[in-house]
Amino acid sequence: MFDPPEMVKYSKIPYSVVDCGQNKALARETAQKSIVLLKNKNDILPLKKNVGTVAVIGPNSDQTFVLLCNYNGTPSDPITPLRGIKEKLAGFSEVLYAQGCLWAAGMPGEKSLEELKKEALEVAGKANIIIMCMGITPKLEGEEMKVTVDGFKGGDRVRIDLPDVQQDLIKAIYALGKPVILVLLNGSALAVNWEKDNIPAILETWYGGQAAGQALADVIFGDYNPGGRLPVTFYKSVNDLPSFEDYNMKNRTYRYFTGEPLFPFGFGLSYTTFSYKKLKVKETVNKGDSVKVAVNVKNTGKLAGDEVVELYLSDLTADVPVPIHALKGFTRIHLDPGETKSVVLTLSPDAFSIIDNDNQRKVKPGKFEVFVGGHQPDPKTIKGEPGILSKVITLI
């Protein structure tokens, strides 16, 4: 970063290579794989391309800067959700658009909130289905930013739900009685409690990069089956979290959180279903040995898709505070309908380690529970998801 360009090998790569077709395809694949399907009531998704008139509504529908986060290059041809959907439905269905609202109250805009909302309701009234692209932006969340609007101060978030203007618009559109697909674009977790209870389908797309709009359209209209998983916990409220000034880990992250999250770490749905059978792991393990964990995973649905196999470990006999469970491995596999694959994950010797009272990392004999499945081992927070397989092993 600070060396003269002639010393940096990357500076010699021409833009014709950086921006080549192969890399554009990789950007699209990356965006596809990052999308997390949070809700899909009655399998409303994927939509057919000839669904009829589609309304794309929301402040994140057609702005390129919301695709790129805070640290980024400048793509030559960024594709917004609106453009991606229009290109996907060309020759099939009409696409209408309205901004609908600002990201948050207090932000500058060419039109008033009342005008924007009225336009959105008019557009939605003409549509058979509505895709709402909501969330936040890199101009609101980031390091030491000079912004103070509803829910944000200096680049920090002082609330974790959507700004009121966005919630109001979502509820007004939903009240029309038409099918609504909610698309979230954001860098940090959002509390979308009312939306989870009422909106039939929710997609988390993050800041998806230059091909975000293409990837989103691929997922919504069935050309790509989503398989992404949440890398963070989505909490219901800031009231579920300790004070910002409290640096203890108690009730923080999925490893120590004892409440019920809105969407848990490691969660993500698919357009197909998977089952787990035949968990194999040694019952007794010598300290210092690696441990192989094998399981059979089957695609039990009608569509090909990716499954993320997650391996968690719980220390059942530790004499110091330890995580409830901790992710120790994962792999993403592709399965055709009816196909079964045997997956092997490895627990390294230090996976069994703890931090003792002297702040030293040690591995101590004891009992551990191994969990393998498509999500973290907390059934009460996941309804209708494939089960978790588990087995207690002894470390000697």
Question: Are 212 and 74 found together in one domain?
Answer: yes
Phi, psi (deg, nearest 5) at residue 16:
-65, -30
Do 107 and 137 form a contact (C-beta atoms < 8 A)?
Answer: no
This prediction's pTM: 0.95
251 inside domain: no
Q: Which amino acid is at 110?
A: E
Question: Are 157 and 77 found together in one domain?
Answer: yes
Give the C-alpha separation, 219 to 33, whole Å. 10
pLDDT tens per residue, the chain (396 residues)? 899 999 999 999 999 999 999 999 999 999 999 999 999 999 999 999 999 999 999 999 999 999 998 888 899 999 999 999 999 999 999 999 999 999 998 888 889 999 999 999 999 999 999 999 999 999 899 888 888 888 888 888 889 999 999 999 999 999 999 999 999 999 999 999 999 999 999 999 999 999 999 999 999 999 999 999 999 999 999 999 998 889 888 899 999 999 999 999 999 999 999 999 999 999 999 999 999 999 999 999 999 999 999 999 999 999 999 999 999 999 999 999 999 999 999 999 999 999 999 999 999 999 999 999 999 997 554 444 557 899 999 999
The pLDDT of residue 21 is 96
Give the C-alpha separation, 391 to 396, whole Å. 16
Do 254 and 376 form a contact (C-beta atoms < 8 A)?
Answer: yes
Do 311 and 393 form a contact (C-beta atoms < 8 A)?
Answer: no
Phi, psi (deg, nearest 5) at residue 28:
-70, -45
Give the C-alpha separation, 56 to 43, whole Å. 20
Question: Are 64 and 134 found together in one domain?
Answer: yes
Question: Are 163 and 283 found together in one domain?
Answer: no
Helix (H) or strand (E) holding 340: strand 340-347
265 inside domain: no
356 inside domain: yes
155 inside domain: yes
Question: Are 101 and 30 found together in one domain?
Answer: yes
Do 266 and 227 form a contact (C-beta atoms < 8 A)?
Answer: no
**CATH code where residue 346 lies:** 2.60.40.10
255 inside domain: no
257 inside domain: no
167 inside domain: yes
**CATH code where residue 154 lies:** 3.40.50.1700
Q: Which amino acid is at 361?
A: R
* Residue that is last in its domain, among 226, 254, 283: 226
Q: Which amino acid is at 55?
A: A
Retrieve residue 128's tokens. 């058979």
Question: Are 177 and 280 found together in one domain?
Answer: no
Number of domains in the chain: 2
Domain extent for 39: 5-226
Give the C-alpha separation, 331 to 42, whole Å. 28
Among 271, 330, 335, CA closest to 306: 335
Question: Are 303 and 365 found together in one domain?
Answer: yes
Give the C-alpha separation, 184 to 136, whole Å. 8
Strand partners for 361: 355
Q: What is the dihedral of CA 202, 31, 95, 268, to 10 degrees?
A: -20
248 inside domain: no
Question: Are 289 and 184 found together in one domain?
Answer: no
Question: Are 39 and 146 found together in one domain?
Answer: yes
The pLDDT of residue 383 is 47
